[in-house]
Structure 1
Amino acid sequence: MMLPTHAFAGMVIALPYALAFPEFGPVALLAGFLGGIVPDLDLYAGHRKTLHYPVYYSGVATLVVPIALLQPTLLAVAAAWFLVGAALHSVGDVFGGGLELRPWEATSNRAVYDHHNRRWITPRRWVRYDGAPEDLALSVALAVPLVVALEGALEWLVIAFLAIAVAYAVVRRILPAVASRLVGDLVVPNASSRVLAYVPARYLEASAERGSTQSR
């Protein structure tokens, strides 16, 4: 699923708490938002493995959330809803597509790495790929209660990310061709081996395939 969907999910699950504890509302919502985003910071360093922990985020969250409910402090609230958002993201990716460059082709059997069991979890593909029509529909469905319930900066944050979701969904199917072209024409010829080590293998493979096709 795309980043805005994960961000909205983290905020939506924190919304009832924010309404029940308005003094901690902004912290809970922002923590859920950040928790929904942070796992994808591993995009260029072991994507869906380095910062995705479907078991561990969930386990620690079950310990911290009761503290945020029974003895709320700023730190406890922030930690609880960040962990919940990150857990939702990590588990949610299991129900999306795999790690291939064109996930609508369904060629990868890797969705999210399970560090606890030391194995890759197979993608369920309920949402076929990030940016798919059903992904956008889910983003919209999650954003609606947030826009209704929130105001000010948080409401505008949701609106901005919803606009990003729409734009991403529109161009999603052409992004692999653009990425492979950029990698093949700009990155591979000019970058050092150290830089290339951070380029996901799927981009390098697509660039190599494009180059071999053009040389025929």
Structure 2
Amino acid sequence: MMATTHALFGVVLATATATVAPEFAPVAFVAGVVGSVFPDFDLYAGHRRTLHYPVYYAVAALPAVALAVVAPVAETVALALFLAGAAAHSLMDVLGGGLELRPWQAESERAVFDHYRGRWVAPRRWIRYDGAPEDLLVAGVFAAPALAVWTGPEQTFVAAVLVASAVYALARKPLAMLAERLVPRVPPTLRSRLPERFRDAGETVPTVRRGD
């Protein structure tokens, strides 16, 4: 899924929290969004493995949420929203495509690494790839209640993220084609620093002809 879709899910968590405890709305908004995008900070260092923990985030989130309910202060609410957002992110990525430059081709069987079981979880492909039309639809569904509930900077943020989602969805496939052209021209020392799916961009796959 798009990072923006994850961010908007964090807003959903914040909206639910603000409905119950409006005094924590600002901290819930920040913690929900930051936690929901945090796992993608591993983009350049073992993407969907280094900071993605589909089991451990969820296990940590349960007592954190309980603590926030029993002792609702800014710190406990922020911790609960952060962990809940990170857990949701790691689990939601399983519903998308695999780790490849062109995930719509459905060639990769790696969605998220499960550290508890020590193996990659296969993609479900309910959302075929990040930036797919259905991904944008989910982003819109997440944004709708927030646009109705929040005002001021928060509402502006949600609208901007939704617009960015639409732009990325339109550009997703052209960007993959552009990467395939540009990455082979990047010096090898710099190419090694790119995300894994970009490092293989431009490699030609032998064509199998009938009769060969």
Q: TM-score range by the shorter chain?
A: over 0.9
Specify the alignment match of 2:50 in structure 1: 50
The structural deviation recorded for 1:198 is 2.1
Distance 2:83 2:137 in 1: 25
Distance 1:69 1:156 in 2: 29
Distance 2:129 2:197 in 1: 15
Q: 1:64·1:80 contact (CA, 8 Å) conserved in 2?
A: yes
Q: 2:183·2:191 contact (CA, 8 Å) conserved in 1?
A: no
For structure 2, which runs of at least 5 residues remain unmatched after alignment? 208-212
Distance 2:150 2:196 in 1: 41
Distance 2:152 2:184 in 1: 44
- Please, what is the CA RMSD of the aligned residues? 1.6
Specify the alignment match of 2:194 in structure 1: 199
Question: Is structure 2 residue 115 aligned with structure 1 residue 115?
Answer: yes
Q: Give the TM-score normalised by structure 2.
A: 0.93
The structural deviation recorded for 1:182 is 2.1
The number of residue pairs the alignment matches comes to 207
The amino acid across from 2:158 in the alignment is V
Runs of 4+ off more than 6 Å: none
For structure 1, which runs of at least 5 residues remain unmatched after alignment? none
The amino acid across from 1:27 in the alignment is V
The structure that is helix-richer by fraction is 1
Q: Identity of paired residues, percent?
A: 49
Q: 2:17·2:28 contact (CA, 8 Å) conserved in 1?
A: yes
User: What aligned pairs does 1:125-140 form with structure 2 within 5 A after superposition?
Assistant: 125-140=125-140
Specify the alignment match of 2:40 in structure 1: 40
Deviations 1:137-156, CA, capped at 9 Å, x for gaps:
00001101000000111111
Distance 2:93 2:168 in 1: 17
The amino acid across from 1:30 in the alignment is V
